[in-house]
DNA sequence: AGAGAAATTATACGATCATATAATTTCTCT
DNA sequence: AGAGAAATTATATGATCGTATAATTTCTCT
């Protein structure tokens, strides 16, 4: 006897499959990017991936977009619930970037897989360009608001935002690869020191 | 008729295989980590990998150690051929980190594969800990020399070195993933702005 | 109720994977 | 020169890979 199955709306199924893919990637890294494994994790058969995504790379790209949007939302929701002063918002950004929800080896593990794909897949690269731009623009706004409130000059807010983003990503990477390297609180301290450099005019 | 083969010293063969592995990883990313592909690239048969390394992960770890040492050597050789003043040395470090030899998509592609393995393999993680520590210690020396020469206070040279390293790695990552994001010269500018923040007392 | 569309399963195919084992070749040493 | 050790090849095995195709089930709509 054949087992029955539930029929679901395409958007729901696509989300379920993407979430299953993320769990597989967390568990096995690059080796987790496998149509068979993902389908089993989602409790469906492999054919469903072909049906909804065509090729598996499209499924992974969808998971990337979902996760990318989710992470920026998470940190910005926290920023928006902080005090409205620009300094408080910028510091909330730092503190939340180092919160356990994001400063997490499993999360980085997923991103490392994405990075590898971005370098070799035009489809993934296209997604990344959009996500990165959105991220930097958001950071730039936080920085210019802060600079205006503190009355400090910034020659290129864009470069400051790129640098600050790079610092946060680099700390995330370094800590996840080797959590013994420094404490999360030390990461927050480094981020705030960077802000202090900005205030002192390092980017003027 | 069987093709003849040359017999080589184990160290030579191990190096050849590691170099072939790096070329395969550059070409195909994670998919390049394959005993068959690497053996073919090196012009030998797969059995040789088993013979010299046992399992393929050990070969990749060997390639990681080789490349890691080589990159630090490359940049420090350039630093040592700069003017002896601490400021010139630190700036030479920045400028050389953004030179085409290191600021390169192919190079990052190899590292992304390594990062993925570090997160899932104790063997690779052990190598990474050592390489990272060596890197940060080197950077810390450059920074403390600079701080002494400029007469600026640094509360924790270790944290400053971790932050500076993270900034450079983050810029490397961001640019390689999306070379349109900023120009290499802009990366140098960001690095030097960080140094200026240090001088102004952001880390005091 | 029942027909048609779409979601889902079932199955098959050829390629590639890592690794083990045994046969063979090369080189060194005496 | 020739024997032995080690490097290397040759070959086999079973697992997993992505994807295509056809059969089947579910659900909606009239």
- Asked if residue B103 and residue B41 are part of one domain, the reply reads no
pLDDT at B2: 46
* Rounded CA separation B140/A181 (Å): 14
B189-195 average pLDDT score: 97
- Which range marks the domain in which residue A24 is found? 1-54
The verdict on a CB contact (< 8 Å) between A163 and B173 is: no
Candidate from A28, A189, A200 with C-beta closest to B197: A200
pLDDT in tens, B34-76: 999 999 999 999 999 999 999 999 999 999 999 999 999 999 9
Best CA proximity match to A25, nearest among A86, A92, A109, A87: A109
- Asked if residue A168 and residue A188 are part of one domain, the reply reads yes
Q: What residues of A are in contact with residue B127 (Cβ under 8 Å)?
A: none
* Rounded CA separation B8/B6 (Å): 6
Q: What residues of B are in contact with residue A170 (Cβ under 8 Å)?
A: 165-171, 173
pLDDT at A110: 98
Instruction: Report the share of chain B in percent with pLDDT over 70.
Output: 99
pLDDT at A1: 38
pLDDT at B4: 80
Selected residue of A106, A107, A116 to mutate for chain B interface (largest B Cβ count, 10 A): A116
- Asked if residue B50 and residue B16 are part of one domain, the reply reads yes
* Rounded CA separation B165/B172 (Å): 11
- Asked if residue A114 and residue A43 are part of one domain, the reply reads no
**Last residue of some domain: B32, B54, B76?**
B54
Question: Count of domains in chain A?
Answer: 2
**Last residue of some domain: B37, B54, B71?**
B54
Which of chain A's residues 48-107 bind strand D, using a 7 Å CB cutoff?
49-50, 54-57
Q: What residues of B are in contact with residue A108 (Cβ under 8 Å)?
A: 119
Whether pLDDT at B20 is above 70: yes
- Work out the minimum CA distance from A84 to partner chain B, whole angstroms: 24
> Using an 8 Å Cβ cutoff, are B52 and B21 in contact?
no
> Using an 8 Å Cβ cutoff, are B38 and B60 in contact?
no
pLDDT in tens, A95-117: 999 999 999 999 999 999 999 99
Distance B152 CA to C3 C1' (A): 83
**Last residue of some domain: A54, A71, A88?**
A54
Distance B14 CA to D8 C1' (A): 14
CA distances to A18, A20, A92, B61, B204 from A53, in Å: 10, 14, 38, 35, 53
- Asked if residue A195 and residue A116 are part of one domain, the reply reads yes
pLDDT at B151: 94
pLDDT at A3: 55
- Work out the minimum CA distance from B182 to partner chain A, whole angstroms: 8
The verdict on a CB contact (< 8 Å) between A181 and B125 is: no
Candidate from B178, B182, B186 with C-beta closest to A129: B178
CATH number at residue B12: 1.10.10.60
- Asked if residue B129 and residue B92 are part of one domain, the reply reads yes
The verdict on a CB contact (< 8 Å) between B119 and A109 is: yes
CATH number at residue B67: 1.10.357.10
Q: How is B78-90 classified by DSSP, letter by letter?
A: HHHTS-SSHHHHH
- Asked if residue B20 and residue B100 are part of one domain, the reply reads no
The verdict on a CB contact (< 8 Å) between A173 and B170 is: yes
Selected residue of A132, A140, A166 to mutate for chain B interface (largest B Cβ count, 10 A): A166
Token pair belonging to B20: 């072939």
Whether pLDDT at B201 is above 80: yes
The 3-state secondary structure of A90-138, one letter per residue: HHHHHHHHCCCCCCCHHHHHHHHHHHHHHHHCHHHHHHHHHHHHHHHHH
- Asked if residue A70 and residue A31 are part of one domain, the reply reads no
Token pair belonging to B3: 């093709």
* Rounded CA separation A195/A125 (Å): 30
* Rounded CA separation A34/A56 (Å): 8
- Asked if residue B66 and residue B126 are part of one domain, the reply reads yes
The verdict on a CB contact (< 8 Å) between B174 and A196 is: no
- Asked if residue B45 and residue B80 are part of one domain, the reply reads no
pLDDT in tens, B67-123: 999 999 999 999 999 999 999 999 999 999 999 999 999 999 999 999 999 999 999
Positions of chain A with pLDDT under 50: 1-2
pLDDT at B3: 54
Q: What residues of A are in contact with residue B113 (Cβ under 8 Å)?
A: 116
* Rounded CA separation B199/B189 (Å): 15
Query: Residue A29 has what DSSP assignment?
Result: G
Selected residue of A143, A175, A195, A202 to mutate for chain B interface (largest B Cβ count, 10 A): A202
Distance A34 CA to C5 C1' (A): 30
> Using an 8 Å Cβ cutoff, are A119 and B108 in contact?
yes
- Asked if residue A33 and residue A116 are part of one domain, the reply reads no
- Asked if residue A168 and residue A127 are part of one domain, the reply reads yes
């Amino acid at each position: 006897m054949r087992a029955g199955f539930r029929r679901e709306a395409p958007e729901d199924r696509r989300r379920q499959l993407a979430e299953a893919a993320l769990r597989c990637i967390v568990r096995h890294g690059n080796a987790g990017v496998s149509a068979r494994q993902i389908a089993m994790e989602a409790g469906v058969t492999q054919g469903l991936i072909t049906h909804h995504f065509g090729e598996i790379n499209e499924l992974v790209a969808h998971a990337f977009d979902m996760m990318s949007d989710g992470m920026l939302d998470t940190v910005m929701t926290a920023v928006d619930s902080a005090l409205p002063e620009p300094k408080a918002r910028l510091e909330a950004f730092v503190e939340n970037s180092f919160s356990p929800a994001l400063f997490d080896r499993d999360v980085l593990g997923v991103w490392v897989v994405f990075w590898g794909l971005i370098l070799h897949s035009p489809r993934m690269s296209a997604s990344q360009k959009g996500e990165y731009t959105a991220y930097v623009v958001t950071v730039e706004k936080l920085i210019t608001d802060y600079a205006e409130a503190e009355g400090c000059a910034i020659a290129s807010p864009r470069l400051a935002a790129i640098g600050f983003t790079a610092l946060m990503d680099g700390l995330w990477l370094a800590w996840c690869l080797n959590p013994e390297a420094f404490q999360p609180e030390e990461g927050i301290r480094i981020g705030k020191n960077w802000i202090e450099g900005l205030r002192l005019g390092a980017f003027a």
